[in-house]
Amino acid sequence: MKVRKFNFFLLILTLLGAVMGAITGEMLMERLMTVIPTSILVGLYFGQLGLWIGGMAFIAEKWKPVLTGKRWADQYALFSLKLLLPVMFVLPFAAGTILQYVYELDASTIKRPQDIVLVLDVSGSMLETDPDKKTVTAVKEFLMNMNKSQRSSLFLFNDETSMIQPFTSFTNDEERENAGKAFEKVIQFSGGTDIALSLAESMKYIESNNSGRRTMVVLLSDGISEVNVGETLQPFQNREIVINTVGLSREKYEGAKLLSKISAQTGGQYYSVNDTDKLAGTFQEIQKNAEERLLIGERTGSAGYMLLYKILRIAFIALIGAVLGMALGLMFDNRFLAQSFTWGGLAAGLIAGLVMEWGFRNYYLHGFLIRVWADILLAVIISIFSAIVPYQVYMAREGNNRILSSRMNANNDLDQKKSSNSFH
């Protein structure tokens, strides 16, 4: 007999588990992002999330055994508790690790751009925004982190745009230091802000001197500028050139909105810096994240706006959701419930993947908020799917789960053998 059942306590407690899992996952990401491989990190994220959701689901069903039945709560709950770690942690961990690994398979071949173009705002407003010229220090450190195979070019702009350094590769630190000193001598803040012109001029130079090398643009500005975003960015999109933007004044909403749009539409990231002392660190972060592809985070670099990776993220999160649902049913040792939860997990993962894909392209949403909403969707939709997709229940004479059923069948076989022996 197939039934539809809903456990309100399961819904509430798994929702709480999702929130706790999101918080724990955020702590893991902050501490381990640069310490362990991203595939292991994503696996740990979903493993601990599964553990939280599974633990809360166990408590809910033990308290109010609506889906599993009273016999499970009385006789087999301990066995399910023993399955909690190997099922609810290991399966989501394995799924997250494998799918993240697949998601970033070619990242090592495009990890760092070959050419980097710095486009720096030197308008008069920078006198107020950066009075100590921390931009100079940041650019110097940026150049020091360039490797021998990379080339860099520097553009300064206000009302006009000028190139102060053509594409140059550095073979030693002395050359890098000399380039930094030359930049320091020419930088003067004055005039207005014309971002469209600066991008157009830098694009002309890239097209005439790039020869198909992978290129990244870093645009730094503090002001508002009139820009036809679609027209200005089309050449960059055609060549899959990423523009990372740095905004020096978070209070200027329109400026932040423009810079965010520029980076989002070219697969880059927007970095808001309201303290110029942090500018050098921001530049270092840009270099480190030149190509990042994270299932549960931002996708930067040339893959940032590619349709393939949008589809892969949604599909992979859906698969992880299905694994979470299946694991939950297996923990309760009920294959019919596992089938219902698996379909619920697939639907939940599909929606959560869409939320992540949309959210991480929106500058105004914090990464944690995106992840916590996705985690909540996973838990809530899985928990209610037993009321949507009917599942087979075990009849009382067969026991309440597979173990009980198998034990009774074994006892019946034994009784039959004894009867047969007695007859002979």
- 232, 203 Cβ separation under 8 angstroms: no
Q: How far is residue 213's CA from residue 115's CA, in Å, rounded to a whole number?
A: 7
pLDDT at 257: 83
Q: Which domain holds residue 154?
A: 112-290
Quick one: 405 and 283 in the same domain?
no
Quick one: 223 and 320 in the same domain?
no
Quick one: 225 and 283 in the same domain?
yes
258 located within any domain: yes
Quick one: 241 and 361 in the same domain?
no
pLDDT at 410: 43
189 located within any domain: yes
Quick one: 214 and 166 in the same domain?
yes
Q: What is the pLDDT along the chain (424 residues), one digit of tens a residue?
A: 788 899 999 999 999 999 999 999 999 998 887 688 889 999 999 999 999 999 999 999 999 999 988 889 888 899 999 999 999 999 999 999 999 999 988 644 445 677 889 999 999 888 888 888 888 888 888 888 777 778 889 999 999 999 999 898 887 888 888 888 888 888 888 899 899 999 999 999 998 886 677 888 999 988 678 888 889 999 998 888 889 888 876 555 667 888 888 988 888 888 888 766 777 777 777 766 666 788 998 776 556 667 888 999 999 999 999 999 999 999 998 888 999 999 999 999 999 999 999 888 775 667 899 999 999 999 999 999 998 888 877 554 444 444 444 444 444 444 444 444 444 4
Quick one: 262 and 332 in the same domain?
no
pLDDT at 382: 95
pLDDT at 284: 72
**211 backbone φψ class: left, alpha, beta (φ>0; ψ -120 to 50):** left
Quick one: 151 and 215 in the same domain?
yes
Quick one: 175 and 81 in the same domain?
no
Q: How far is CA 103 from CA 291, 292, 315, in A?
A: 13, 10, 11
Q: Mark which of 290, 321, 345 sits at the end of a domain.
A: 290
Q: How far is residue 265's CA from residue 270's CA, in Å, rounded to a whole number?
A: 11
- Give the pairing type, strands 242-247 and 270-272: parallel
247 located within any domain: yes
Give the DSSP H or E segment for 3. Answer: strand 2-3
54 located within any domain: yes
Q: How far is CA 51 from CA 121, 143, 375, in A?
A: 49, 45, 13
411 located within any domain: yes
Quick one: 355 and 237 in the same domain?
no
State how many domains the chain has: 3
299 located within any domain: no
Q: How far is residue 386's CA from residue 249's CA, in Å, rounded to a whole number?
A: 50
Q: How far is residue 291's CA from residue 303's CA, in Å, rounded to a whole number?
A: 8
How many Cα atoms occupy the beta-carbon half-sphere of 350 within 13 Å? 5
Instruction: Give the ranges where 104-252 is alpha helix by DSSP (H).
Output: 126-129, 134-144, 173-186, 195-209, 229-238
* CA nearest to 244, candidates 208, 285, 187, 296: 285
Tokens of 371: 């992840």
pLDDT at 400: 44
pLDDT at 276: 65
Quick one: 128 and 210 in the same domain?
yes
Q: Mark which of 264, 290, 316 sits at the end of a domain.
A: 290
Quick one: 153 and 241 in the same domain?
yes
321 located within any domain: yes
Q: Mark which of 255, 290, 325 sits at the end of a domain.
A: 290
Quick one: 96 and 145 in the same domain?
no
Q: What are phi and psi of 112, to 5 degrees?
A: -125, 140
Can you give the pTM of this predicted structure? Answer: 0.62
295 located within any domain: no
pLDDT at 394: 59
Beta bridge partners, 221, equal: 247
Beta bridge partners, 121, equal: 157
CATH number at residue 117: 3.40.50.410
